[in-house]
Amino acid sequence: MRCYLKLGAALGAVAAIVPQAAQAQRASDNVTTQSGDAFGKSVGNEKSGLYESDDVRGFSPVDAGNVRLEGLYFDQVDRVSTRLVDGSTIRVGPAALHYPFPSPTGLVDYSLTQPRAKTSYSATLDSGSPNALGLGGSFEFKQPLDGNRLGLSGGVGFREVHRSEGGTGKVRTFGGTLAWRPSSRTELLLFAGDFLFRSDEARPTLFLAGTAGPPKLKRGEDLSQSWTGRDADTWVWGAIAKYSLTGSLKIESGLFYTRRDQHASFADLYTGVQANGLTSGHRIVADAGSFDTSLSGETRLIRQWRSGSLSQQVIVSLRGRHKVRRFGGTASFQFGPSTLLAPTALPQPVYAIGTKNRDRVDQLTYGLAWSLVADGGFSVDAGLSRSAYTKAVDFADPLAPDPVSRDRPLTWNVSASWALTRWASIYAGVSRGQEEALIAPDVAVNRSEAPPAIRTRQSEAGVKLALSSHLTLIAGVFSITKPYYNLDAALRYRQLGSLNHQGVELSLTGQLIPGLNVVGGLLLLDPKISGEVVTSGQIGPRPVGQIRRHGVLNFDWRLDRGKSPLSFDLALNSYSSRVGNSANTLFAAPRTVVNFGARYRFHLGKTTMLVRPLLQNLFDNYGWQVSTSGGWTYTAPRSVTVQVVADF
């Protein structure tokens, strides 16, 4: 408690020094009250909904290359600095309507932090976030330099991480955005940011033997090696320009450069893990000098007009990317049989990183999108794109063939919605796309190799009901099909068949009564693999790491009909069992996690203050995550964090 009193006193001292402004920034962040549906949203450090940026309907939009920054195409290679973006929205179902060039795997749409006409400053100190424990904090600002014409926003952040599975790490974030708006018709945004990791030891990952399940390890006991720290930086630079040529014609353009440098990274793998904690093998893979870099962007010419009862929009788009990866040359160390029941300090081997492989992707896409909205509540969206795609791999081994793949896919989408009444509407859509496949996992013999782009397709339909003026229910069905890549019996990562995800998703969001908001969602998923490896019995029909059900329920109750400074929030996440191996003979047990928190708002002079305690995993549920490659890691135990925010 003494620590948090000191934190509050420090924030109060800062508030007394910095010039005062009335605009709140971080103290008003609340993902439950700011969510328009239950499909996924992030605000600051908070997340809610069924989906996240790495998991939408059972797939990863980020890995697939389906990311937008301020609505423009952005080829993301890793995490974006939280000092650059206010949050993100997952766009599937109704949220993707009228959104040009949607993707079968869904879209992640980031909102860039921007300065406006009012000055604001925010300072945050906390004892942990929903993702990591350990002291952390940030300072953010939005500073106009010439009214609304010129402004600067940005900030810095830090966290001294204490991981729930033991071990420590350091995270640093930086970022800034310069906005120039010389007139109401012109906007230019220049931005840059860094997400930095240091001394982040590799978390052990378990690969099980048999069907008995993993041992119940003591959570918090550090099984990692002190010399396996990860040092990595992810930079993002970019520029966005928007200009209205006429009242109905405008141009938008964005150019983005992102780079991930893995100065040092390790994978800590235990194989043949038995229920008694013994393992048949322990392997650590060391890497250094790898990087991913991408130059991407989009230019759009947009025309909007109205004719009678019809509003229409046409977009002509040019999207492209130039991506280069340096990978391979890793050093692998076998330490033989081991145990997970007690930490074992291993000597750091002397090793040298070998010559790297390189792969390069060049893609240019021309697109045309059209949208029509009728006053009667009917809408149609359609898009057509042609891409020129080339992927070339240059292996360091002079005897290995260097494959080059080329493709010229024609991708398209059609969707429609119809308001049957003032409170009920229906929607449906079909799309065909091209996406990147996941790279080979750490345990693969061809670790980090990336297959060529794959073809994907999706169909979806649903209904949207306004249960009241403040409460919305969405019910939808979908089917997504794409090639299935995973490990074969020889641990080579390759295409094993075709994968189809059919599902039902429900979303309930809004205000139940004044002061009480809800975000509730349910996903029922039926993922199936088809192909020769399934019919021959080499693997089971269910993909590794997938669940069949996911439910979320978030409540935010602000007392005094939403006017009190005090509010309470409850978040429930429930998961079905998860497929634990390729033979479908092993499953991670179902689990439910409950978080309980509160917010108290008050003022110190002109400074808006927020104190937010949060109890995570209230009932200390012990569960397991399973990756798509079959690696098992346990979930975080119960923990308490306190956050103090000052907006001034």
pLDDT per position as a tens digit, 163-198: 888 888 899 999 999 999 999 999 999 999 999 999
Mean pLDDT of 348-371: 95
Report the alpha-carbon distance of residue 430 to residue 102 in Å, rounded: 10
Residue 596 has pLDDT above 70, yes or no: yes
CA torsion 361→367→373→377, rounded to 10°?
-40
Per-residue pLDDT reduced to its tens digit, 217-233: 998 899 999 999 989 99
The H-assigned helical ranges of 548-606 are 559-562
Phi, psi of 194, rounded to the nearest 5 degrees? -135, 140
Own/partner long-range contacts of 142-148 (Cβ < 8 Å, ≥24 apart): 142/23, 142/25, 142/113, 142/114, 142/115, 142/116, 142/118, 143/115, 143/119, 144/115, 144/116, 144/117, 144/118, 144/119, 147/117, 148/116, 148/117, 148/181
Angle at 182 between CA 180 and CA 185, to 5 degrees: 105
pLDDT bin (cut points 50, 70, 90) of residue 329 is very high
Report the alpha-carbon distance of residue 522 to residue 39 in Å, rounded: 9
Residue 302 has pLDDT above 80, yes or no: yes
The H-assigned helical ranges of 453-582 are 532-535, 559-562
Question: What is the per-residue pLDDT for 130?
Answer: 66
Tell me the two tokens of residue 413: 């989408």
Residue 3 has pLDDT above 70, yes or no: no
Query: What's the pTM?
Result: 0.90
Give CA 475 to chain center in angstroms.
Answer: 23
Of 362, 361, 365, nearest to 318 (Cα)? 365
Pairing of strands 107-112, 67-69: parallel
How many separate domains does the chain show? 1
* pLDDT, greater one: 474 or 147: 474
Task: Report percent pLDDT > 90 for the chain.
Answer: 75
pLDDT bin (cut points 50, 70, 90) of residue 11 is very low
What's 172's domain CATH number?
A: 2.40.170.20
Q: How many CB atoms lie within 10 A of CB 555?
A: 16
- State how far the alpha carbon of 639 is from the alpha carbons of 164, 199, 203, 595, 619, in Å: 9, 23, 19, 10, 10
Per-residue pLDDT reduced to its tens digit, 530-582: 988 899 888 999 999 999 999 999 999 999 999 999 999 999 999 999 999 99
Question: What is the per-residue pLDDT for 1?
Answer: 42
Of 593, 591, 597, 636, nearest to 615 (Cα)? 597
Q: Which of 2-11, 27-36, 427-436, 628-637 shows the lowest per-residue confidence on average (mean pLDDT)? A: 2-11
Residue 81 has pLDDT above 50, yes or no: yes
Mean pLDDT of 47-65: 90
Per-residue pLDDT reduced to its tens digit, 109-124: 999 999 987 899 999 9
pLDDT bin (cut points 50, 70, 90) of residue 129 is confident
Per-residue pLDDT reduced to its tens digit, 360-387: 999 999 999 999 999 989 999 999 999 9
The one-letter amino acid at 504: V
Question: What is the per-residue pLDDT for 384?
Answer: 97
Of 643, 614, 574, 517, nearest to 125 (Cα)? 643
Compute the radius of gyration of the chain from its Cα atoms.
25
Question: What is the per-residue pLDDT for 5?
Answer: 42
Q: Which of 345-349, 443-447, 541-545, 622-626 shows the lowest per-residue confidence on average (mean pLDDT)? A: 443-447
Phi, psi of 128, rounded to the nearest 5 degrees? 160, 165
Q: Which domain holds residue 443?
A: 2-647
Give CA 156 to chain center in angstroms.
Answer: 21
Residue 14 has pLDDT above 60, yes or no: no
* pLDDT, greater one: 44 or 289: 289
Mean pLDDT of the chain: 91
Question: What is the per-residue pLDDT for 491?
Answer: 81
Q: Give the three-class secondary structure for 402.
A: coil
Mean pLDDT of 81-102: 92
Q: What number of residues does the chain have?
A: 648
Mean pLDDT of 71-76: 96
Phi, psi of 62, rounded to the nearest 5 degrees? -65, -50
Instruction: Please report the beta strands in 221-356, taking only residues with DSSP state E, as ranges in sequence order.
Output: 229-244, 249-273, 278-279, 281-287, 290-307, 310-327, 331-334, 338-339
Per-residue pLDDT reduced to its tens digit, 491-506: 888 888 899 999 999 9
* 513 Cβ contact partners less than 8 Å away, ≥ 6 residues apart: 561
